[in-house]
Structure 1
């Protein structure tokens, strides 16, 4: 009888393989970053770690089986013997935040088989950032890769050992049974369900919710008290990340605040914190923003007895050479500040104080910003291109409650505008989609009476615009309104201004545009930017980390788009949106700013954040199945909308390809326990003030999942990019985009009117550009508009091996190619002279939705997430 040299059964094969692999070693490589403080190694931590190594306290890893459960431990995957990182002492990390690679060698254990996770214990004194573990030549599997991207603190900081999973993707129900308990326990750890805790510490990994009760500082005085946002009908708001800080002494409902010097240590889960490069940028931001907390004597030295620019030439000097340092300032700095903390702000190397880059809006033409054409173009291609609407009734009406606010109907008449409609009647212009409106009347009117009790003197505005045959817009009337002096119930008093290019009337028209822009700037920062991007996204981040395992496909899809958002928001609450912070200093709504954004949240809906839905709701587009994106723009040359729709379609195609791979039918969506828990918690807790709203997607179908994920990604990437990264280019020259007003419109017969007639620029600057808030605003938007060197742009991942699914990796590559094609299309459109709104009088090409960018102040680039 002939005998085959091959085993005759799978059992014989297994026995033979096990025998063959006895004594086998599995080689692995760990990539990590040792602890750093900003860009410099923590030498003390490094020395202590070396001592730990010499004493036998090392970093150990144990593999967890994905195929064999332990009957003595709830059938959780078998855990292997420890292996240790090799040569920690001799492997010296570079003096920057660089990576170091370490070898690790495991004994192959047949009880482990194919590992699906591993346990890591850090017995050192300091934390390190664990990037990846890669195993080579695992019997029965080959290469196994683990994407970690997490800070690992000393073991005594944790109640449970840290567990990391391989880069495979599983719905909860498909998880290998030996890994299921580990998957569930990891989510419990992130929720902190089994912990009693007070103030959260930097090593805590707890994602939880809190109200916006950290804005005020009543212990500093009653003028610093602010209402709690969230949890009430009066002040609804999205939830933010919990810190656990104790209450203030004055008000038990207000959370105590950190000192400014502690801003870099504000609690967010450690893996949500910025990396070293981003931290450096944040420090630069704090230093640039120091004027808000400068002692009065420094303020006096800087601005002397005046708080105003004398001329446009004085403003332009900020870009051409900076300001002269007043006598005494250098001595005060050297006597009163530690080290080089003010190096970013005060130069002592011969450079003048506060020299800024030249904003693009004045780079080519220093007067183009004054034109009506540029004013109108920026409503379509500026930093707040998401507010303009099509006018569908005349005169514009108000939706404010008549019993409370009286008659707020617009006082603009046909006599004001009909001569500017190119021969059309008002009805014909409306019918032909020729009239548009920038309407900030209803939003600001209920707050104006209180706002104007501060140093602000502002109006509520309506701006009407006509669509020319060449695709450009022209402003044809601006209505400025104030609450009736006898009471809100009597309505408002309004005055209408129309374009003029002659004498004092042209200066008055310039003032009217300024007041309209003040309204729009407040809407931009507090609603379009902060609320619609930053604040509403944070609950998505928290809920995803609490309810979606890192193994879950939707977690893997969305995680890059949540990078840095919690840290950005937490830092903003410390220096930007807090009582007395930057926003209250530079935005006309002053101490009512965040309260006003709460009022805007009352009308926020998640489905309307989808770009096509937003455009249709604003009347600037209509559904059209024959159009390339399913909608047809009524302003064809609308750069934000045109480029945005390109990105929206590319994102949705990617999301559809991705979700369709894991969800074959609606029932799979309905039966996904983690997905359903995420969506339920997001609505019921993260956005609980809106949880009863019927418009929320039910998350019962594949279409709802695809649309929701597309919307989340669009908000975090394209929407935020469009309203953030052009801020310095457009608003770095404050006269072009004023954020506050300190005087009302000059009335004939007054000294203010005479100054307007004889020196219009000085009158304009007195009203719209007080010196210190202007400098603070310029410094702020310069930092916010910059890309760091470690930026990730749409379509990019921080590791190439983020999943093992080849079809998904191919779809990801297709997405990148689509984005490259969009870049080429944007470049081509920006060279098309027929598309006048893409360039304009100021000669600024519209590149804010150009997907990629270099580091720095580039006025382009779509990062994956809201990270500044």
Structure 2
């Protein structure tokens, strides 16, 4: 009789089949015991230990959980590791649970788990806060944010500069936002490669300064990459000087000149044509490096360095070439601040252009690269992790675009921009100048300047020929915008959904306060009230951390590796009269050998694609299950492929192909 009753009980047991996926990162496995518990609307299972042996990288394990009655609707999966021998970390990719009724539930994880914490996983269904109906899910949503806010905290960096992550070393970061082992090895190795492949270590010990321009040619004979080689042979030409302001490292400075600045008294006699006429026709352009005014030169290797704050006027010729026509090296006009012209002596004109290229080094590295991609990307990342729970559709959309940003920025603050970092140590403006520059750049940030279509219009560069950054950038902006629109409208059905999403409102509020210093004049929204506003902001965010970062980062060694084209410092003061500059003056103005070696090693490291490169549109983590977003992701990939093909077709006819905004070369995030 007892046996019959036991059999009847066994027949009514409910069985849940579980597949557990360990990540394919190196060291993803564990020798710890893994405990799993399922939680439903009616009931929950007892915790069950998964492994009797170690879990290995990339492996899938299966087990069954049984209970006497149905759990109801399956809500959560609880994971916990229990130390077996030594504490270690386990990276769980996901769980797939099949209910007794045959329904599959996907529980994305993609996180590291240690023996100190339990982890509650939700399935792939994305929900806004007001759509939650289950108390257990509401509790999980709140606990998710509370846990993340404990480890992801804001910290003041420097006055007037965006806030940063409260972590001094990368080891303080949660494991899931740190470099993978593969990425770490790749990153550390690139600096070594810079000194071996490029033979920089040999040159560091030969002499302190360059003796002549031929010596520079000998140093760089070891590198024959196509763009690098082109730069080396054309760096001193006027045509290439203008080309770089459109398609080089910093395509953001140039703007249409609607009238000459009062402090830049260029005349018709100087340029040999009617400036008024060409300005009216929209053919005159300006680069103004006024942010450098008043900065004091640094001392490098016991020698004084110098800073200019140039203005550069350019002409778009009938032959569709952009050429410089006048350069003034300091902001205040006067007899000791001459306007240099292409008709001056070869060496006068070349040195004036070198000062402009040095000024462009600071605007590029500190403003358009560091501030506008790295530091803003860090702000977006922190706000996303702190304010959007894992079930939020915007979290699922944005989390791939936060990959490695925090880790990279901590390394940058430690090695590149700290008081003894490479940039302050080996640049004309030093650390104090760097702070003042960043404060000024932050104060001038505007929302419209981060939105490419508006930025192009505001700078008046809609029609300038051969502006490939503009053309490819606008195409890519539109592709991203279409993708974001498709995902957002699936969840936000009307403006009221945006207004009442207080998680979203907290997110944008933290970005406004901590990224843009609560400055309403920036135009950055303090709240979001319409679906269109949300689509625009998310488009800007994704474009900034992917496309814009690629545009200003990926060509750093190609355009900056030939040092005279992108000098980090100048060892001669700006000339105060014409006719005094010689070839030796130009050579003496160049950064010394030690400075060159250190800057080039950084540019080489930052320009190299990592071995775990995640190109834009590549989303290996299954975070959504709705058909709408799934189709949007598929369409996004197709649109990116079409754009890649379009760019490659155009590039086949160019002497110097523009590749930085080809989607296959764009990372999902600020990952380097």
Cα distance, 1:86 vs structure 2? 2.7
Whole-Å separation in 1 of the counterparts to 2:225 and 2:305: 26
TM alignment of 1:193-342, pairs within 5 A: 206-212=151-157, 229-230=158-159, 236-243=160-167, 265-285=170-190, 287=192, 302-303=204-205, 306-321=207-222
Is the aligned partner of 1:595 residue 2:595? no
Pair 1:412-2:266 in alignment: yes
CA distance in 1, matches of 2:422, 2:87: 35
1:733 aligns to 2:581 (yes or no):
no
Specify the SS of the correspondent of 1:798: coil
SS in 1 for 2:423: helix
Instruction: Report the equivalent of 1:253.
Output: none
Q: How does 1:617-696 map to 2 (within 5 A)?
A: 617-620=458-461, 633-690=462-519, 695-696=524-525
Q: Distance in 2 between matches of 1:414 and 1:88?
A: 83
Match of 2:149 in 1: 191
Match of 1:63 among 30, 38, 52: 38
SS of the residue 1:447 aligns to: coil
Q: Which residue of 2 aligns with 1:72?
A: none
Q: In structure 2, do the counterparts of structure 1 residues 534 and 459 end up closer, same or farther at CA, with 3 Å as the change threshold?
A: same
Alpha-carbon separation, structure 1, partners of 2:453 and 2:331: 34
Work out whether 1:539 is the aligned partner of 2:374.
Answer: no
For the 8 Å contact 1:33–1:128, the answer to whether it is kept is no
Q: Show the counterpart of 1:11.
A: none
In structure 1, C-alpha distance between the alignment counterparts of 2:309 and 2:608, rounded to whole Å: 32
The answer to whether structure 1 residue 367 and structure 2 residue 233 are counterparts is yes
- 1: CA distance, partners of 2:647 / 2:37: 51
Structure 1: gaps of 5 or more residues: 1-17, 53-57, 69-77, 193-205, 213-228, 231-235, 246-262, 292-297, 322-356, 398-408, 485-490, 621-632, 833-838, 853-860
**What is the Cα deviation at residue 136 of structure 1?**
4.7
Please say if residues 512 and 526 of structure 2, whose CA atoms lie closer than 8 Å, have aligned partners that are also in contact: no
Counterparts of 2:139 and 2:551 in 1: how far apart (Å)? Answer: 43
Q: Which residue of 85, 97, 120 maps to 2:50?
A: 85
Inter-partner Cα distance in structure 2 for 1:793 and 1:34: 18
Aligned to 1:180: 138
Corresponding residue to 1:149 among 110, 115, 126: 110
Q: CA deviation at 1:109?
A: 5.6
Once residues 109 and 549 of structure 1 are traced to their aligned partners in structure 2, the CA distance between those partners, rounded to angstroms, is 33
Describe how 1:687-726 pairs up with structure 2 within 5 A: 687-690=516-519, 695-696=524-525, 698-726=527-555
CA contact (8 A) 1:698 1:704 kept: no
Cα distance change, pair 450–804 in 1 and its aligned pair in 2 (3 A): same
Give the counterpart of 2:71 among 107, 112, 116. Answer: 112
Partners of 2:231 and 2:559 within 8 A in 1: no
Closer/same/farther in 2, CA of residues 110 and 636 from structure 1, 3 Å limit: farther
- 2: CA distance, partners of 1:380 / 1:21: 74
Question: 2:4 aligns to what?
Answer: none
SS at match of 1:499: coil
| Counterparts of 2:133 and 2:219, CA distance in 1 | 63
Deviation at 1:359, TM superposition (A): 4.5
Mapped contact 1:238–1:689 kept (Cα < 8 A)? no
Return the offset for 1:172. Answer: 1.0
Distance change in 2, residues 1:130/1:651 (3 Å) = same
- Cα separation, 1, equivalents of 2:205 and 2:236: 27
Q: 1:358 — aligned with what? A: 224
1:431 pairs, out of 274, 280, 283, with 280
1:783 matches 2:649: no
Q: 2:658 aligns with which of 820, 835, 846?
A: 846
- CA radius of gyration, larger in: 1
CA distance, structure 2, for counterparts of residue 582 and residue 515 of structure 1: 20
Alignment of 1:40-55 (within 5 A): 50=31
1:812 aligned residue? 633
Cα deviation, 1:463-488, whole Å, max 9, x if unaligned, reads 1111112322011111111779xxxx
Between the aligned partners of 1:299 and 1:802, the Cα distance in structure 2 is 46
1:162 aligns with 2:119: yes
Displacement, 1:445? Answer: 0.8
Query: Structure 1 residue aligned with 2:594, among 758, 772, 783?
Result: 772
Partners of 1:724 and 1:784 within 8 A in 2: yes
CA displacement at 1:366 relative to structure 2: 4.4
**TM-score, length-scaled by structure 2:** 0.91
Report the 3-state secondary structure (helix = DSSP H, G, I; strand = E; otherwise coil) of the residue aligned with 1:700: coil
State which of 294, 297, 322 in structure 2 corresponds to 1:446.
294
The 1:34/1:83 distance shift into structure 2, 3 A limit, reads farther
Q: After alignment, is 270-279 or 647-656 more displaced?
A: 270-279
Alpha-carbon distance in 2 for matches of 1:359, 1:299: 20
**1:783 CA drift (Å):** 1.0
Structure 2 residue aligned with 1:794? 616
SS in 2 for 1:730: helix
Q: Which has the higher contact order (CA 8 A, sep 6+)?
A: 2
Q: 1:109 to 1:550 in 2, by over 3 A?
A: farther
- Cα separation, 2, equivalents of 1:31 and 1:473: 56
Residue 480 of structure 1 is matched in structure 2 by 329
Rate the CA distance shift 1:118–1:604 in 2: closer, same or farther, 3 A.
same
Aligned length: 657
Note if contact 1:448-1:459 (Cα within 8 Å) is conserved in structure 2: no
Matched with 1:201 is: none
Displacement of 1:574 = 0.6
Deviations 1:597-616, CA, capped at 9 Å, x for gaps: 11110111233300011111
Instruction: Please report how far the alpha carbon of residue 34 of structure 1 lies from its aligned counterpart in structure 2 after TM superposition.
Output: 8.8
Distance 2:24 2:326 in 1: 61
Superposition deviation, residue 289 in structure 1 = 8.5
1:269–1:132 distance in 2 versus 1, CA, 3 Å: closer
Distance 1:867 1:846 in 2: 21
User: 2:77, 2:164 → 1: CA distance?
Assistant: 32
1:573 aligns with 2:413: yes
Residues 576-598 of structure 1 show CA distances to partners (whole Å, capped at 9, x for unaligned) of 11001011133322222133111
